[in-house]
Structure 1
Amino acid sequence: MKVTPKDAALKFINSHFPMCQAAILAGSVVRGEATETSDLDVVIFDQNFSSSYRESFIECGWAIEAFIHNLTSYQAFFQSDRDRAMPSLPRMVSEGIVIKDEGIIETIKNEANVLLARGPEKWSEETIRIKRYFLTDTLDDYIGCLNRAEGIFIANRLAELVSEFVLRTNQHWIGTSKWTVRALKNYDIHFAEIFVDAFDIYYKTGDKNKVIHLVNQILEPFGGQLFEGFSLGKKEALNPLK
């Protein structure tokens, strides 16, 4: 029988990491979004470990994902998450419930909150140009595809590229899987509804028009579709006469 998430996390910590300096319970159970299949995310800070790792457990009726860090290793993960624009660990630390603390959590939470507030690095003009090209290329594949099975997976890829482009050009965090929609809602609820509706209609009926319009709409402020003249990695040819 399951105990409460907080009680389960405390028992788990006392059993497996009794010497840790701090621990946080995070994830869907903290956000009030838990489902029947939700697990517990527990972040451990323990100076006795030389490096970070993660491990999965079944305890107290719960699946538990443990993310173990020493007192400095988490900082590299914070930076890595910012670099890839997916703040998994900073978000867990920021929103998590403190289960144990020997006086270190406030500082770590402050670091997480500052990083989340800053957002990801701004895309350069060159990055935007490259992303425009690959969006254009995938859109062309989508428009021209006559094979339903292939079209489904092209649409999946197009959805990933669209969400990334919109969020990164507006300097917002991105996400994958269920976090794609959550990231879009955090940016703009109305746009998220339009995004979901466009792809939902395609998956249900095969009608591509709303997706095509959506892609062209988000590209338009940046110069629209890009194909002709695009080059990547080109170098000047050597002049044999010199």
Structure 2
Amino acid sequence: YIAPGASCLPLELFLPVHTRYMSPGLPPEADGAAGAAAQPAQGPSEAAGAAAFRRVHPLHYHQAFLAQGVRPDGRGLLRGRRAAASAAVVSSADGSAMAKLGQTTVLAGVQAVPTLPSEAEPGEGRVVISLDQPLAGGERGGQARQEREQSALSELLQRSAAGMVAAASLCIEEEKAVWECRCTLHVLEADGNLTDACLLAMLVALSDTALPAVSSSSGTKQSV
């Protein structure tokens, strides 16, 4: 516990070197270059001290940044993370994308598989979303909380995917065969804005998807 007004580690120890010397009016790239040239990067002891302080006193850690009007990564309070996405990053997939929001990174891959349509929707295919995110260790009950959060995120992504692709466009032959686009999202790094990063990766990967050419033979419903 740290009482109000008590001394603590200086804010500069917590900021990455490229954000410590940010100059007003300069883009982040210029600030980073100027800062890196002006001062050496954090040493191992500084980085370890900042990480330990954040774990032990998370509230005071974030209050120190809030008082300065910045986030722990050096961004202003109203400044969003930089977003970037690249398509066709996995050659073996029918569609793929890599999305980054700040340090949060998500890789999406789509596999189009011919399958039987449902009886209720014989002329519509479907998109199936799966989320691959390793559970992080932590306090007691933390794993159960992470599982609930991942389940909620998976449901949100599945609902969102329904509005990204017209189900009728995935029909191969009505009542006989449709496409099932299986989109797997691999969370490579989670550092905030994970929902937005997943949505961006999913959107770009589905847009990049090229359905394979198939031929349908007459006969039973199983033949594609």
Q: TM above 0.5, one fold? A: no
Higher relative contact order (CA 8 A, sep 6+): 2
By percentage of residues, which structure has more helix?
Answer: 1
Question: Highest CA radius of gyration, 1 or 2?
Answer: 2
Q: TM-score, normalised by structure 1?
A: 0.22
Using structure 2 for the length normalisation, give the TM-score. Answer: 0.24
